[in-house]
Amino acid sequence: MFAFSSCVFVSCNHSDKSHASKDTLKGKLTISGAFALYPLTIRWAEEFRKIHPGVTINISAGGAGKGMADALSKMADLGMYSKEVSPEEMAKGAWTLACAKDAVLPVMNAANPLAKTIQAAGVTKDKFYGIFISGNVRTWGDLIGMKDANTMQVFTRSDACGAADMWAKFMMNKKQEDLQGIGVNGDPGVADAVRKTIYGIGYNNLNFVFDVQSRKPYQGLAIVPIDLNGNGKIDKEEDFYHSMDEVMAAINDGRYPSPPARRLYFVSAGKPVNKLVLAFLNFILSDGQKFVNEAGYVRLKEDVIRSQLNKLQ
């Protein structure tokens, strides 16, 4: 868990004189948690540091569970969290702030011989249930009603995380513990395992499926489209997987279901009082919002942002 937590250390090398004179914000901010929010938080931290060069922000990804645990135990100032906060966590004093949206997408190996057929037909929620929960759908042939005896090699997340939680919730409100498959550590771990296994299937956060630069899925990874109306083919309104922006638009207008689309949160133990933390959160909900789309996330609706800003008052 700790090993995979990639760390980014945004620190100050060149001091900007014009800012240094009036900027009094100084100190260190520690953020830990969900892989889903990790790339965006890095972006926000970089932009925030351009305005406040005296601030150091230390970000590590280790799954939503770790984010919540670190935030509540005050090991981190803020936790990145990618699922709904449970009443038990609320009872322990968790305070949340929604900051963006993204989604979990089912993925397979692009070299799968049936990839084209599956992308034309789509997979219904029931079939996904058969793959990931009950284990009824065992071969790729079972999935699309063809004679293909190649066993599906199902990958899931081994670490406590939001992606697995949301993906399980999508299938009849199940939990991460109900998901079948080989447990691999971290979002990059699952993507890598699916890319290496020709008959592999798994699920990933939007940002680990698409390359933010090219806006296309990563080499070797293909999305398994969801057949929402269950008619056995991907209709025009279900067909939005060609580029990152298409998927983001579908998440935004609700064509892509939620779950597995979900809000992303920052959590902390009680309402933050640290001035630096508050300044960072304020930045995220105001100026920071313009980097959301660019970084591959979906913006929150205006009224949601306003209500979140009120929480900071």
Partner 1 sequence: MYLLNRQQRHVVNSSWMLFSLLIIGFLPFILFGGLYFKSFLLLKTHTLKDLIFLHSWHPSRGEFGFYPFILGSIWVTLLAILISTPICLLTAINVTQYAKKRFLRVMHPVIDILAGIPSVVYGVWGILVIVPFISRYLGPWFGVQTMGYSILAAALVLSVMIIPFILNIMIEIFRTIPTELKEATLSLGATKWQMVKHVLLRKALPGIIASVGFGLARAFGETMAVLMVVGNVIKVPHSVFDPGYTLPALIANNYGEVLSIPQYDSALMFAALLLLAVSLFFNLLMHFFIARYNKY
- Cα–Cα distance for residue pair 126/281, rounded to 1 Å: 40
Looking at the Cβ atoms of 119 and 153, the one nearer to partner 1 is 153
109 or 289: CB nearest partner 1? 109
The tokens for 197 are 């296994």
- Does 151 participate in binding partner 1 (rule CB under 8 A)? yes
Q: Which stretch binds partner 1 (CB under 8 A): 100-108, 113-121, 171-179, 289-297?
A: 171-179
Smallest distance, partner 1 to C-beta of residue 54, A:
32
Binding residue for partner 1 (CB under 8 A) from 39, 53, 62, 130? 62
The CB-of-25 to partner 1 minimum distance in angstroms stands at 30
| By the rule CB under 8 A, 169 interacts with partner 1 | no
DSSP 120-182: HH-B-HHHHHIIIII----BHHHHHTS---PBPEEEEESS--HHHHHHHHHTTT--GGG--SE
Q: Are 63 and 159 in contact (CB under 8 A)?
A: yes
From residue 251, alpha-carbon distances to 9, 102, 154, 254 in Å are: 31, 7, 25, 5
**Applying CB under 8 A, does 3 fall inside the site for partner 1?**
yes
Least distance CB 134 / partner 1 (angstroms): 14
Site for partner 1 in 74-103 (CB under 8 A): 86, 88-89, 92
Write the CB contacts of 121 (distance below 8 Å, at least 6 apart in sequence). 144, 227, 232, 233, 234
Give the C-alpha separation, 35 to 81, whole Å.
9
| Segment 179 to 218, residues that bind partner 1, using CB under 8 A | 180-185, 193, 196-197, 200
Select the residue interacting with partner 1 from 53, 67, 130, 259 (CB under 8 A).
67
CB of 177 to partner 1, least distance (A): 6
How, if at all, do strands 182-184 and 27-33 pair?
unpaired
Binding residues (CB under 8 A) for partner 1: these are: 1, 3, 62-69, 72, 86, 88-89, 92, 151, 153, 158-160, 175-178, 180-185, 193, 196-197, 200
